[in-house]
Homo-oligomer: A and B are copies of this chain.
Amino acid sequence: MSVKVAIIGASGYTGGELLRILATHPKAEVVAATSREYAGKPITHVHPHLRGYYKLMRFVKVDLDKFLDSDLIFLSLPAKASINYVPKILESGVKVVDLSPDYRLKNPDDYKRWYGIEHPHPDLLEKAVYGLPELHREEIRKAELVASPGCNSTAAILALIPAIKDCLVDLDHIAVDVKVGSSEAGRKPRAGTHHPERANVIRPYEASGHRHVAEVEQELSRLAGREVKVALVPHAVGAIRGALATAHTWLRENVDEKIILRSFISTYRGEPFIRIVRGPPVGYPDPKYVIGSNFCDVGFAVEERIRRAAFMAAIDNLVKGAAGQAVQSFNLMMGFDEREGLSFPPLKPA
């Protein structure tokens, strides 16, 4: 017995990844996939790797009325593009996992500050659940609207949860240095993603304030019980997939490596997609070991000499940083085993 899902915005990389994952999900059936640009074309025209799956299926234009017999709709469009679909879908009793940032911030003022427009449905912000199961599992189970986080935020938050939750670090000096692969920028070619320009770069971007810092601060502040401000500087590096957050912090008194390890273990015990990385042959998290999977590898390094610690989290930006995490929430919302359709191991070497 499958549940029916529709994907709005299925021609991008995140949409493609939803299609890839759902193609072998034992309890979900994709009944519609939209694309404004490719409506009428076969799904495999845009996603040739999926030849052999979705054989007869073509992209359609968005027509909410037709999608409302789905059990759940994934919204996989950029900020603002699907913001007004949400209330209509919810009214019809269909659940939503929104992969855009539109419903992630609780405070409408924050949305305005970072996204430049008044949020048209501020009432729904409270209702929306931030879709990080490691923080909000029980709420997600009951949610009708999940705002599923992207790669920078997922990596930054998962790296820092133990440190914040267990008061291990100076909350006033946290700098998160993020490195991401090129697929993070989406499927649309631009000057900066042209292969000769993008290959081999080590390129800081939006270094004066990336908008995703807002949700990182929101979630960490909630966890800390006080306001936490975070410096977040993303860097484009030479990979297609993968995101690593390295959070540079200073330790509070009496905190040492053992305490940190204990905090990680107690925080992440039982989490199906979190793996704590310690010791050889791989000392620290590296996206290399999670590519293609929904895992987040977490770890840390302490430099006792100067009372500093670096906390790291590595993900595949398109899976745990996007489509996989959305399916994880979908599973919870449907009452399925959280791992359903997500149990495939990482692909390595790749």
Interface residues of A (CB under 8 A from B): 13, 16, 20, 23-24, 45-53, 173, 175, 177, 179, 181-183, 187-191, 193-205, 207-209, 229-231, 233, 235, 237-244, 246, 248, 250, 275, 277, 280-293, 295, 297, 301-306, 308, 310, 312, 314, 343-350
Contact = CB atoms under 8 A, between A and B. Distances in A.
A238 B173 CA distance: 29
B205 A284 contact: yes
A183 B350 CA distance: 9
B194 A193 contact: yes
A41 to B, nearest CB: 9
Contacts of A53: 345
B200 A181 contact: yes
A293 B305 CA distance: 36
A324 to B, nearest CB: 12
A246 B177 contact: yes
A282 B48 contact: yes
Given A182-B196, A193-B195, A248-B231, A237 B202 contact: yes
Which A-B residue pairs are the 8 nearest by beta carbons? A238-B238, A207-B301, A175-B248, A196-B349, A195-B198, A49-B348, A189-B194, A177-B177
